[in-house]
Structure 1
Amino acid sequence: MASRRLQDSNRDNAGDFIGECTVTQSCEPCMKTNISKTATVYCNDCKEFLCDTCKNPHTVYKPGKHDIAIIHARKSVRVAMDMEGMDMCPEHAKEKKKIEFYCEDHSKFCCIECMVKHKKCGRVEKLVDATTDKWSELHALKQSLLTLESGADAIIAECKHSETGLNESIAKISSDVDKMRDRIIQLFDQAKQKLLSEAKDFKSAEIKRIGNKRDTSSKVKEEINKVVPMCLAVLERGTPTELYIYSKMIKEKLHKMESNINEQKQIKISSTMKVSFLKELTSLLEMGKNFVKLNSDGDKTEANSPMSLSSQPMPVNLKLLVSVDLPKTGDDKEEPYLSGLDFLPDGRLVVLDNNNMKCIILNERLQRLGTPYKFKFHPQSVVCVSHDALCVTSGGYKVVFLLSVSTDNTITLTREIKTSSQFFSICCMSPSNMVVSTSDDPRPLRMISVDGVEADFDHFLTLPMKTYRIADSACTYVQSKNTLVLTDRVAHTVYLYDTLNRTCRAVTNENIQEPRAACVGPGDSVLVCSMGKNSIVRMTIDGKILGTYPVDMMLPCSICVSKDGTRLAVSNCHFGIKKLHLYKISTAMS
């Protein structure tokens, strides 16, 4: 580099000779932004010319000492140039032969000795006689160099910013993973406590049934112990008349005792319990450490989320397993209408026949188990609140029924709760609280506990004051997402309420026509019966439509998913063509 590089880089006017020039110094920082401003001072330490405007920032923000000297001579001065060998002939540099010619034919600089080789060339220019003004060209080149330098500075700054961002991202990745791990551990702890609570409740119920079974059998045994000695005595010493009388009497007692023993034999008691995990969880475990994905800006993900655990539900397929028609049969007074469906944890399906006021238990082939329970009112919706307990609404009546279901499919009324509102659909919000949709009430959604305590959402969620007629709306609740779902059949809309952030999203879509019942689907998605389209619509809690599944029935209105997420039951309300379908839910191959 030239010894006076800075002076050379700031020439605004140059002479027509090599090795000596006339210059006027310009401010170097200004020139980097394509501004031409005369320098007034010179920093001897930084070897940089500055104007009055750039002088203070230079001394304040640039590190190091600064020996600032005022430029007294503002007029043009002559500066001797050291070209550092660039003015020497490339072939005769050792002999220190200076460049005197330029051959246009060969695009090559030459000295006097080189001219022997270029005698026949037609375009050889003697530099001392050159008339072309190279100042403008060199000035443009200088400006290009300064612009390129600014670009390089920007790239260096970007690289530094990227390095800093990567370091910060690693720290955030660790924090995000720790937070997700803590959430999962907390969720497992909560699930464990809920499971143990249910297990204790189940044990208490079974112990009670065991006690009843043992007490009944013990009483029969005591009765036998009383009867047998008397029977032996009559056999040994009784007269024919006494034998006849005692024979008749003992036959009646024997029949009653046999009936009691046979009844106890029919009562099946569980001696063990076990836990089952959802398929989504076992699938997660099968993925191993690959269940976490590293994302970068290049993956077109959010820059604030360099690492994420995908929350997008996986696509699913529905395969029809069983389809049954529902004609009027047996003691039915009306054509069956299954207004409510839900699965027990062991896979049995509970259905409500609204028209004939029955609660029926079905097996995996949709065959009836046990004896149906007969209501005093028309049942509307059902939800399983524990391993053997059901909660049933009655639509147009202000009453809720609590039922228990035994392992031998005996349905027993355990409690009848009078309510202040008419409840239509019902779903679980927590182990002890349920959400209900209402009819003929300006509060479209309310809560009720298993103890019969009613409450509103006013304290943590703002709901529109809208009164629905019966069957015009239905609800469900996605517990893991704290999302409340309300369908509006007349408005063809599904409302999604985030109970934590107190926000609401209204979802409309051409495939959502007359939405009726809704339930929680695979991957914490929402499944909605689209009556007007004879289909099931699956969506995320953010309102994104994941899929539409046509069902071979008119006006599907009731829906539920098994606790393990592998089966789906759907019924309809079309007059004269009532059906019940059972589907297998499987993950779609991408």
Structure 2
Amino acid sequence: MSVPQTLHLPSTSVPAGKTCDLNMPCPKHKRELIKFYCHDHSALVCSVCVTLEHTVNMCKVNYIPDISGKIIDSKEYHDILKAMDTISNKYHKMSADVKKMTVKSNGSVTNVLAGIKKFRKEINQRLDELERQAEDAAKAIQQENDKNLKTLETASDDITKSLETSADSIKHLNTLKQADRLFMELKYAEQMIKEYKKTLHQLSAYNVKEYSFEPNEVISSLLEADSSLGDLSHKTLKLTSLTPAVKPRQTLYPDEICIKTSKDNSSCWITGMTLLTPDLLIITDHNNSAVKMVEICNQSVTDQLKLDGQPYDVTAVTGTELAVTLHEEQTIQFVSTTSNKLVKKHTMNVDGKCYGISSQSGKLVVSFMFPVMLQILDTNGTILTTIRGENIFRNPTYVTTNSSSIYVSDWRMKTVTRLNWQGDVIGSYGGIGQSRGITLSDDGTVFVCDSERKAVVEVTADCSKGKVVLKDLKWHRAVCLCTETCRLYISSDTGFHKDNNSVQMFNLSKTCN
């Protein structure tokens, strides 16, 4: 099987002084070696992969030795090591939490057993059987806690070792100036970091309980009855390194970024926003039928793409690909962001006027107002799940997702609704005047624009509680959170052009992490 000639591969000889160590087998095609990198899919691939899946007509593919020369001591090298160090520190903190929780949980079980013994002395011999049952229940609790604690400790230790081993290998390859291997190791490390971040949230769902014994107050008069010795109440111990204490959020006076350009024919109306990196904001300008790329550090629009209709919302599908809803056209426009340029790719037809959109693990969640519904699709347009019902949605304008949940803001229902990935409603928060844009932090906290109260409301991940964190805002529409910088981006939706032609930036306190 030959490699397409359009790749223009160099000869197999390696320039003097440069080591070519492309000797890593392809995981899909075991007889082939990895020699190429696909920018569109952030994937290390072999010749067969390029021929079958990453063709030059669809993807930007480079021969690794042609692009790896500047990887030694590069910004990417240092950024990935820094990210690995950050997540490694989180796992170290988790390990310390587990040890504290082990002591506290086991101590609580010891107290339960002591309470059982003390209460047992106050009753007659006929309660021996009930005493044994209570002790067995307490020991079963301890076994369950030990199992969960062991799972957390083992996962934390294993992942920490994996990160440390990978980091050592990267440092070693950098010292040896083995650019090709270093490049591949860094790319594998990127994927490792993404997976381990997801694992952090998954592990935080493990419940470890602290119990106390509460004697039955009427048991003395019920010695002849078939009754239990008492009840075991509990409270869940939290991994404090992953669930920081709730503190009031502090905000600084907002900055503003002007997003009006010479290409615009009218005032801006920013209806959707997403971040590709902490310094690269993508916005949809509905009035000017455009997608714009905004550099945060320079506070300027660096590229602008004219679309075939008026866009509403945008989401990042991969590190270099966006999906934009065009509601009147009833299509989703895919856009490439390679080399910091916006380029139209293919479109995908949908079953109605699409508004909000969010991407997660190769799936798209899209909200519709005509007809009113929510759909989960794959990136080829195959409908996986459809959710309808007037008791659930009336005007589901925006949607955001993480690996465990889907959150929808409905301005007419005045709610934030939480669903699982099977489409079941598992929570709802109704303390909102009129919900618009919605965004998520890494710990699952929801931020939603309340246009009626001119505020941003922070809602807990289970949608049980909410509080205002920003108030006295202009009439606002879209919102986007960067958890790395604790910065919230908000667009305006007022009758004044000067308000709509800028995006406001609010610096939240570090409790957003």
TM-score range, shorter chain: 0.5 to 0.7
What is the CA-CA distance between 1:173 and the residue it aligns to? Answer: 1.6
**Which of 458, 464, 467 is matched with 2:389 structurally?**
464
Q: Is the 8 A contact 2:211 2:234 kept in 1?
A: no
The 3-state SS of whatever aligns with 1:168 is helix
Does residue 586 (structure 1) correspond to residue 501 (structure 2)? The answer is no
What is the CA-CA distance between 1:303 and the residue it aligns to? Answer: 3.8
What is the CA-CA distance between 1:500 and the residue it aligns to? Answer: 5.3
**Which of 335, 345, 349 is matched with 1:418 structurally?**
349
CA distance in 2 between partners of 1:340 and 1:388 (Å): 18
The 3-state SS of whatever aligns with 1:396 is coil
Does residue 495 (structure 1) correspond to residue 413 (structure 2)? The answer is no
**Corresponding position of 2:490:** 570
What is the CA-CA distance between 1:362 and the residue it aligns to? Answer: 1.5
CA distance in 2 between partners of 1:326 and 1:319 (Å): 21
Does residue 171 (structure 1) correspond to residue 143 (structure 2)? The answer is yes
**Which of 386, 399, 415 is matched with 2:318 structurally?**
386
CA distance in 2 between partners of 1:163 and 1:302 (Å): 11
Show the 5 A alignment for 1:188-587: 273=187, 275=190, 295-297=210-212, 303=233, 309=239, 314-315=245-246, 317-320=249-252, 322-324=254-256, 326=258, 330-345=262-277, 347-365=279-297, 367-407=299-339, 409-430=340-361, 432-442=362-372, 444-451=373-380, 453-458=381-386, 463-464=388-389, 473-479=397-403, 481=404, 483-499=405-421, 502-509=424-431, 512-551=432-471, 553-562=473-482, 564=484, 566-576=486-496, 577-578=499-500, 579-587=502-510
What is the CA-CA distance between 1:514 and the residue it aligns to? Answer: 0.6
CA distance in 2 between partners of 1:359 and 1:270 (Å): 32
What is the CA-CA distance between 1:422 and the residue it aligns to? Answer: 1.7
Q: Is the 8 A contact 1:338 1:558 kept in 2?
A: yes
Cα distance change on mapping 1:446 and 1:345 into 2, 3 Å: same
What is the CA-CA distance between 1:428 and the residue it aligns to? Answer: 1.3
After superposition, the C-alpha distances for 1:277-305 in whole angstroms (9 at most, x for unaligned) are: 58x969x89xxxxx997623279x98467
Q: Is the 8 A contact 2:212 2:234 kept in 1?
A: no
The 3-state SS of whatever aligns with 1:380 is strand
Cα distance change on mapping 1:186 and 1:553 into 2, 3 Å: farther
The 3-state SS of whatever aligns with 2:141 is helix
The 3-state SS of whatever aligns with 1:174 is helix
After superposition, the C-alpha distances for 1:161-211 in whole angstroms (9 at most, x for unaligned) are: 5543443232222222345568889999xx9xxxxxxxxxxxxxxxxxxxx
The 3-state SS of whatever aligns with 1:401 is strand
**Aligned-residue CA RMSD in angstroms?**
4.3
- TM-score if structure 1 supplies the norm length? 0.50
Show the 5 A alignment for 1:77-116: none
CA distance in 2 between partners of 1:410 and 1:551 (Å): 36
Cα distance change on mapping 1:368 and 1:544 into 2, 3 Å: same
- TM-score if structure 2 supplies the norm length? 0.57
Structure 1 unaligned regions, length at least 5:
1-147, 192-268, 286-290
The 3-state SS of whatever aligns with 1:568 is strand
Cα distance change on mapping 1:160 and 1:484 into 2, 3 Å: same
Q: Is the 8 A contact 2:210 2:235 kept in 1?
A: yes
CA distance in 2 between partners of 1:307 and 1:553 (Å): 37
CA distance in 2 between partners of 1:557 and 1:420 (Å): 25
What is the CA-CA distance between 1:545 and the residue it aligns to? Answer: 2.0
Cα distance change on mapping 1:565 and 1:160 into 2, 3 Å: farther
Size of the alignment, in residue pairs? 343
**Corresponding position of 2:13:** none
Question: Letter of the aligned partner of 1:477 in structure 2?
Answer: T
The 3-state SS of whatever aligns with 2:311 is coil
CA distance in 2 between partners of 1:368 and 1:271 (Å): 34
Question: Letter of the aligned partner of 1:489 in structure 2?
Answer: W
Question: Letter of the aligned partner of 1:385 in structure 2?
Answer: V
CA distance in 2 between partners of 1:320 and 1:417 (Å): 41
CA distance in 2 between partners of 1:565 and 1:530 (Å): 23
CA distance in 2 between partners of 1:302 and 1:281 (Å): 35
Cα distance change on mapping 1:323 and 1:308 into 2, 3 Å: closer
Q: Is the 8 A contact 2:284 2:291 kept in 1?
A: yes
Q: Is the 8 A contact 1:173 1:306 kept in 2?
A: no
What is the CA-CA distance between 1:472 and the residue it aligns to? Answer: 5.5
Q: Is the 8 A contact 1:322 1:366 kept in 2?
A: no
Cα distance change on mapping 1:150 and 1:293 into 2, 3 Å: closer
CA distance in 2 between partners of 1:472 and 1:314 (Å): 32
CA distance in 2 between partners of 1:401 and 1:501 (Å): 24
The 3-state SS of whatever aligns with 2:123 is helix
After superposition, the C-alpha distances for 1:126-161 in whole angstroms (9 at most, x for unaligned) are: xxxxxxxxxxxxxxxxxxxxxx99735488777655
CA distance in 2 between partners of 1:362 and 1:554 (Å): 21
Question: Letter of the aligned partner of 2:507 in structure 1?
Answer: K
Cα distance change on mapping 1:298 and 1:381 into 2, 3 Å: farther
Question: Letter of the aligned partner of 2:147 in structure 1?
Answer: S
CA distance in 2 between partners of 1:158 and 1:171 (Å): 20
Q: Is the 8 A contact 1:568 1:582 kept in 2?
A: yes
Q: Is the 8 A contact 1:472 1:488 kept in 2?
A: yes
Cα distance change on mapping 1:526 and 1:154 into 2, 3 Å: farther
Cα distance change on mapping 1:572 and 1:270 into 2, 3 Å: farther
Structure 2 unaligned regions, length at least 5:
1-119, 164-182, 215-230
Cα distance change on mapping 1:313 and 1:533 into 2, 3 Å: farther
The 3-state SS of whatever aligns with 2:287 is coil
Question: Letter of the aligned partner of 2:509 in structure 1?
Answer: S
What is the CA-CA distance between 1:559 and the residue it aligns to? Answer: 1.2
Cα distance change on mapping 1:296 and 1:485 into 2, 3 Å: same
Flag the structure with larger Rg. 1
Q: Is the 8 A contact 1:539 1:545 kept in 2?
A: yes
The 3-state SS of whatever aligns with 1:533 is coil
